[in-house]
């Protein structure tokens, strides 16, 4: 088939595609996540978290067969007038454009807003459809006068298509926990000994180096002695009052940094009504009063959890670590989840048992001279990332004698609260 056999459209939101169609295409991808579900992206738009004056203008790409109207590819894309909320930082690129008197914005972004979780981005029926979608994004960028197109936190299929199209690749680092940590790079995962998942949090701690175990135990003891207790609330058990409290904590954290939160209360109301099973809340209380809260997203099919949001109304030392790492990891172990992704950045996460994981993004720059300069920069940056990862590998928080099978030894069980 040729490109004339397809209809390529751009719509001001994912609502142009039926939820069932979108989610069926998502299910076909190698790395689907809850954040690419139609309900999640629709909630972003309907709640005003994107669109309007947010600097995120939805430009959803839709590719259909002309003869049958069958959906063959979609991409959640956004025309951006800034670089906030992306977690792949290109401020230096924007500054270089400014100094040369060339506009960097608008740019076209293919990503899940405010969500640095790797997963499939170009939802396509097959590789040719994915390549067609990528060409259509380039055409859209040129038509809209964009300086560039950026595909963030995609999967291998996305990046194979991007490389074939001559896009530039950028490397990044996150920190992820696995239920029994990753095999060393020189170890054949298939030949690794079979080791059961962690039985409990103490079993996990036993795998860590002595100084890491001691630090975590001290932090947890401090929180307990301060009279702080935690409640785990899952899925549909979360009430509107629970979400109200979480959002108050979330807003307060941004206010303390003299900033405004990206996500509105209406977005979380939509999550409660349409995707409740994908959320778990850890609520901290002291003296009968709720003081802090963290929220993780979960994919029960993949056995994956994702650290997302945190906030507090009262400061107690180490409560952040308990709410954002120790409580979620304890929950993941109890529910036999395979991994916990800690989100963007944060080398301090290694001391809590999260290991470095390489992330990628793909970039197309319209102006040839800027493309050459940015390409040279990315080559240097990529070498620095390789060195950084090698350095981090030498600083593993795990005991050298600890067993190290490949991640994901067990399927997730049914969620349960402590």
User: What are the tens digits of pLDDT across the range 24-73?
Assistant: 999 999 999 999 999 999 999 999 999 999 999 999 999 999 999 999 99
Cα–Cα distance list, 132 to 4, 9, 119, 238, 286 (Å): 11, 12, 19, 42, 55
Q: What is the pLDDT of residue 67?
A: 95
Q: What is the pLDDT of residue 182?
A: 44
Residue 195 has pLDDT above 90, yes or no: no
Find out whether 97 and 370 touch, Cβ atoms under 8 Å: yes
Q: What is the pLDDT of residue 190?
A: 55
> Band of the pLDDT at 257, cuts 50, 70, 90?
confident
402/264: higher pLDDT: 264
Task: Give the integer Cα–Cα distance in Å for 403 and 190.
Answer: 14
pLDDT in tens, 384-409: 999 999 999 999 999 986 554 444 43
Find out whether 294 and 327 touch, Cβ atoms under 8 Å: yes
Residue 313 has pLDDT above 90, yes or no: yes
Find out whether 111 and 56 touch, Cβ atoms under 8 Å: no
Find out whether 340 and 329 touch, Cβ atoms under 8 Å: yes
CATH of domain 3-166: 3.40.630.30
Q: What CATH class has 176-354?
A: alpha beta
pTM: 0.91
Task: Give the integer Cα–Cα distance in Å for 133 and 414.
Answer: 37
Task: Give the integer Cα–Cα distance in Å for 312 and 15.
Answer: 35
Task: Give the integer Cα–Cα distance in Å for 356 and 176.
Answer: 6
Give a three-class secondary structure readout of the chain: CCHHHEEEEEECCHHHCCHHHHHHHHHCCCCCCHHHCHHHHHHHHHCCCCCCCCCEEECEEEEEECCCCCEEEEECEEEECCCCCCCCCCHHHHHHHHHCCCCCCCEEEECCCCCCCCCCCEEECCHHHHHHHHHHHHHHHHHHCCCEEEEECCCHHHHHHHHHCCCEEEEEEEEEEECCCCCCCCCCHHHCCCCCCCCCHHHHHHCECHHHHHHHHHHHHHHHHCCEEEEEEEHHHCCHHHHHHHHHHHHHHHHHCCCCCCCCHHHHHHHHHHCHHHEEEEEEEECCEEEEEEEEEEECCCCEEEEEEEEECCCCCCHHHHHHHHHHHHHHHHCCCCEEEEEECCHHHHHHCCEEEEEEEEEEECCHHHHHHHHHHHHHHHHHHHHHHHHHHCCCCECCCCCCCCCCCCCCCCCCCC
Residue 181 has pLDDT above 70, yes or no: no
Burial class of 184 by CB neighbour count within 10 A (0 to 12, 13 to 18, 19+): exposed
- Tell me what the mean pLDDT of segment 163-186 comes to: 83
pLDDT in tens, 79-112: 999 999 999 999 999 999 999 999 999 999 999 9
Q: What is the pLDDT of residue 93?
A: 97
Q: What percent of the chain has pLDDT over 90?
A: 88
Instruction: Read off the tokens for 186.
Output: 């020189």
- Tell me what the mean pLDDT of segment 220-234 comes to: 98
Query: Mean of the per-residue pLDDT values for the chain?
Result: 92
> Band of the pLDDT at 410, cuts 50, 70, 90?
very low
pLDDT in tens, 124-157: 999 999 999 999 999 999 999 999 999 999 999 9
What are the start and end residues of each CATH 3.40.630.30 domain in the chain? Answer: 3-166, 176-354
């Amino acid at each position: 088939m040729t490109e004339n056999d397809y209809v390529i459209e751009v719509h001001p939101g994912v609502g142009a595609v039926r939820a069932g169609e979108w989610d069926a295409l998502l299910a076909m991808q190698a790395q689907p996540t809850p954040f690419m579900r139609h309900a999640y992206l629709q909630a972003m738009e309907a709640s005003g978290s994107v669109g309007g004056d947010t600097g995120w203008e939805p430009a959803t790409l839709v590719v259909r067969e002309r003869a049958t109207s069958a959906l063959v590819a979609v991409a959640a894309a956004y025309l951006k007038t800034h670089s906030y909320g992306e977690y792949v930082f290109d401020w230096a690129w924007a500054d270089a454009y400014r100094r040369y008197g060339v506009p960097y914005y608008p740019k076209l972004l293919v990503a899940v807003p405010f969500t640095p979780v790797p997963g499939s981005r170009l939802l396509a029926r097959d590789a040719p459809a994915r390549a067609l979608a990528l060409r259509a994004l380039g055409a859209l960028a040129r038509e809209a006068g964009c300086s560039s197109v950026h595909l963030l936190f995609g999967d291998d299929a996305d990046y194979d298509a991007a490389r074939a199209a001559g896009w530039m690749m950028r490397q990044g680092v996150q920190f992820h926990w696995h239920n029994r940590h990753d095999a060393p790079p020189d170890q054949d995962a298939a030949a690794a000994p079979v080791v059961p998942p962690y039985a409990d949090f103490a079993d996990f701690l036993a795998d860590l180096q002595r100084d890491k175990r001691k630090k975590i135990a001290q932090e947890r003891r401090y929180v307990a002695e301060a009279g702080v207790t935690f409640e785990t609330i899952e899925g549909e058990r979360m009430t509107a009052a629970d979400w109200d409290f979480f959002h108050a904590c979330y807003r307060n954290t941004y206010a303390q940094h003299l900033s405004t939160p990206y996500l509105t209360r209406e977005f979380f109301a939509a999550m409660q009504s349409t995707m409740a099973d994908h959320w778990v809340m850890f609520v901290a209380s002291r003296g009968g009063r709720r003081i802090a809260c963290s929220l993780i997203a979960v994919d029960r099919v993949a056995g994956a959890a994702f650290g997302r949001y945190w906030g507090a109304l009262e400061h107690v030392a180490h409560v952040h670590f308990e709410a954002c790492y120790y409580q979620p990891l304890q929950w993941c172990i109890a529910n036999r989840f395979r991994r916990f992704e800690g989100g963007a950045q944060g080398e301090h996460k290694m001391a809590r048992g999260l290991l470095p994981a390489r992330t990628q993004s793909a970039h197309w720059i319209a102006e040839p001279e800027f493309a050459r300069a940015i390409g040279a920069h990315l080559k240097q940056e990529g070498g620095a990332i390789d060195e950084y990862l090698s350095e981090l590998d030498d600083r593993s928080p795990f005991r050298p004698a600890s067993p190290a099978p490949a991640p994901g030894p067990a399927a997730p069980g049914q969620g349960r609260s402590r």
